[in-house]
Amino acid sequence: MISPFEMRFNVFNVAKEVMEEQYKSNLASWELMNKAAKNVEELAPKYPTVSEILEKAIEINKFISDSTERELVKAVKRASGVSVIF
């Protein structure tokens, strides 16, 4: 059986994977545009930040759980060793 801590960490990992896939898709699109046109560097996609991944994890968690944001943020910080200030 999976513990609540592990479940929250899994939610964080799913959010991270979603954000990474979105980044990869955006990067592929940008690379095609870059080949076709010059000076599109400012349109390059940015890799998701920890904050953005946490926001996505909170969004997913709200959909599947009654846990509060504070509980999820604490669990993610403990699991990843990340220090993020909200």
Q: What is the per-residue DSSP string for 16-52?
A: HHHHHHHHHHHHHHHHHHHHHSSS-GGGPPPPPPHHH
Q: Is a pLDDT exceeding 90 seen at residue 71?
A: no
Average pLDDT value for residue range 10-33: 90
Going by pLDDT thresholds of 50, 70 and 90, the confidence category of residue 36 is confident
Residue 86: per-residue pLDDT: 39
Domain residue spans in the chain? 4-36+45-80
Q: Is a pLDDT exceeding 70 seen at residue 44?
A: yes
CB–CB of 60/13 below 8 Å?
A: no
What percent of the chain is predicted at pLDDT more than 90? 19
Going by pLDDT thresholds of 50, 70 and 90, the confidence category of residue 17 is very high
Residue 68: per-residue pLDDT: 62
pTM for this predicted structure = 0.52
Residue 18: per-residue pLDDT: 93
